[in-house]
Structure formats: C-alpha cells, structure tokens
Amino acid sequence: MEIESFRALLTDEGQALLAELRDFKAGEELALATRLRRAHPAPLVSAALAQAQLRQRARAKFGDQADELYFTPDGVEQATRRSVAEWRAQRFAALGVRRLADLCCGIGGDAIALARVGIAVLAVDRSPLTCAVAEANAASLGLAELIEVRCADVTEVDVTGYDAVFTDPARRTARGRVFDPEAYSPPLSWAIEAARRTPFGALKVAPGIPHELVPDGAEAEWVSDHGEVKEAALWFGTRADRPHRATLLPGDRTLTGGLLPDPPAGPVGRYLYEPDGAVIRAHLVAEVAEQIGGRLIDPMIAYLTSDRLVPTPYAHAYEISDVLPFNVKKLKALLRERGVGTVVIKKRGIGITPEELRRQLKPSGPNELTVILSRTDHGPLMMLGRPATAEDQPAGAWM
C-alpha cells in the first residue's frame, strides 16, 4: 500500500467507499470492484477494498473496533490484540505512569489502549505509512490530543522526562519469523537498555523466549486470551518479588511466582488438571500444584493430578474414569462399546496428532468423551474422562 493511496481513503469519497464495503462477503470482490469502478477511480476502489479486507481480518484482534481503525498488512499480523493492550495499559496506569514513549508503535494498537486510560503517548515508528495509519487511528477514536505520532528511528529518540518506555521490536522479516532475540529490530539488548532509561519499562518478546534470556531484575509476564498464549513481555521497575507472572484474559486473572521447586510426580488420581498455556510458559505449574494439592503425572509433562477437585482458574480439570496404556485398538473398542461419537483429544509428549488419531478411531454414537494422551515414566497412557464442573464439587466448596 502506498501512502498516497492510504491518504485517499481519508477523503469523503474514500470514507463513503469504506462504509459501503463494511460488510461485503468473501467472493464478492470482483463484482464489487467492477461496479464501484464505474463511479470511483480504480486505484481508490482497490485501496478501499484492500482496507475493508484488512478490517475484516482485524476483527479477530480488535472486535467491532476494527471497523473504526485503519491497517496495513503487517499491522494486522503484528498489532497487539486489543484485550492484551488494554491489560498492559491498566498495569502502566496502576504504576502511576502518565507519559510514555511507545517505540515501534506500529498502527497504534498499544498507544490507543494507553491513551484510553489517560496516559499521554509519544508513538514512534520509522515507516511513514505506518505512522500515517497510527495518526489516522488516533484521530478516528478521538485520541489525537493524547497521542503524538513521530516518524523516526526509535534508537535516536530521547525519552528523558517520560515515566515509561514500551518497545515492541519487529520479530518478522521478509523471510518470516525471527527467533534470535538479537535479530529483532531493534535487538533485544537495545530494547532492554531502553526500558531501563525511565522509571518503568516494558518490552514485548516472543512467548517462546528462553527463560535464561530474561535479564536480572526483570519481571517476565506471559498472557493468554481465551486459553491461547498471545504474547510475553518483560517488565522493569515493578520491583516484583516474584519473577514470573501468568495473566489469563478475559478476567484479568494473574498468577505470580517462579520460586517454587518442581512438584513431585505420581500416579494419576481421580482428577487431571491441564494448566493454562501462560502458566506453563511462565513455569508456574508448581504454583498451581500447590493450590490444588496435586502432583505431576510425569516430571517432564505439564499435567497435574489430584484425588480431589479444587477450583482454580489457572487449569482445566477433568474427572478421569479410565487410565490405560495407550493402544489405538483398545481405545477404538472402548469408544464403540460406550457409543461415543464426539471425542475431544488432548495430548502431550506423544507423536500422534489428534486429527490422525480421530481418523483411526472413526467414532460413532450419541455420547461424548475426552481422551488425554501423555508420555509418562511408565510408558504412554490414555486417560478417559470428562470436564469437571461445579456439580462434581461438594456443596459450598466451589468458588
């Protein structure tokens, strides 16, 4: 997308086209473009159609707000999910931050969330098009007075006088995702230094960052949304006494820790607990085990087990009816015997994929069953059961 084409979308004619394309259906592009080009310049129609497609893709991250925003292809892929940006903005506000430098701001998703909690933001990016999009997004949401967009090299920006710095380094190139943190743009080492120039700082990193790369004095936070790990961030200046944090959205549920030893391993009990992905990434499985009075089923597998059901928001619990050595033929026979047609398959440490196993099982029947496969020191197991509910808990014990 050229910057001139984008600016054309901000005109009255461009806005009218975007409004007309708001709810177009996939497959209608050619017919729509042909019709619209009879009344509008072809380049403007192409730009509007491309923007409408980007907005539809962005709804997964931004919800209905996507229809008020503008995007670039990279912006849709790399922008922070709205729920995560709002959570981070709340954390900065709770720390007393009032002025923040948002380095590598992209299309402005984080800047918008920060401005909405009253923080004045300097949003910096080196791409003129990206800056134009961020500026348009601030104006579209009535936040232009709180968001100053500056097109510059973030490594040359003076952050003196700001309460905090937030950096979101680019982790993709034209060849794909970057896994070496020093190959981020800017590199992780520079972003860490920038985060330490102000009283508070945070920088976004890949969720798979090795724990040994977390610098001393930093608080590492992993965030999941509806059970899917979305990002990790390193925080500076929070003086956290526990180095790891897992946050589960929606609901702002936060678990901190990182100091407990690994829990012991033992046999599978009546209930199996599957910790949230953010809990696993943050190495906080031991904290959940302590909550539920549980144990691992294997020292290297993040499944917990207990003989009692203890409510926790940080793990999904399953009531286990059968624990057997993993055998496809035996499993297929059990499903047929029990009339199971819907099988939810979960697995850890076993090579077969759920899709491949489901094809082999060919389930048929009115009943539903959860099958959990796991490697253990005693060989691969298959555990059959169902999600535990409040009704499984003694009266008055479920919270």
- Three-state SS annotation for 239-287: CCCCCEEEEEECCCEEEEECCCCCCCECCCCCEEEEECHHHHHCCCHHH
Q: Environment class of residue 114 by beta-carbon count within 10 Å: exposed (0-12), middle (13-18) or buried (19+)?
A: buried
pLDDT tens digits, one per residue of 273-296: 999 999 999 999 999 999 999 999
- Asked if pLDDT for residue 393 goes beyond 60, the answer is no
- Asked if pLDDT for residue 177 goes beyond 80, the answer is no
Average pLDDT over residues 256-271: 95
* Cα 292 from Cα 299, distance rounded (Å): 17
CA angle (79 as vertex; 77, 80 as ends), nearest 5: 125
pLDDT tens digits, one per residue of 201-211: 999 999 999 99
pLDDT tens digits, one per residue of 366-389: 999 999 999 998 899 999 999 998
- Asked if pLDDT for residue 397 goes beyond 80, the answer is no
* Cα 307 from Cα 305, distance rounded (Å): 7
* Cα 177 from Cα 217, distance rounded (Å): 28
pLDDT band at residue 392, thresholds of 50, 70 and 90?
Answer: low
- Asked if pLDDT for residue 2 goes beyond 90, the answer is no
Q: Which amino acid is at 264?
A: P
Beta carbons within 10 angstroms of residue 262's beta carbon: 12
pLDDT tens digits, one per residue of 33-91: 888 999 899 999 999 999 999 999 999 999 999 999 999 999 998 899 999 999 999 99
Residue 162, both tokens = 């700001």
pLDDT tens digits, one per residue of 226-249: 999 999 999 999 999 999 999 999
DSSP state of 166: E
Instruction: Locate the DSSP E strands across 120-195.
Output: 120-125, 147-151, 164-167, 172-173, 176-177
Amino acid 166: pLDDT: 98
pLDDT band at residue 396, thresholds of 50, 70 and 90?
Answer: very low
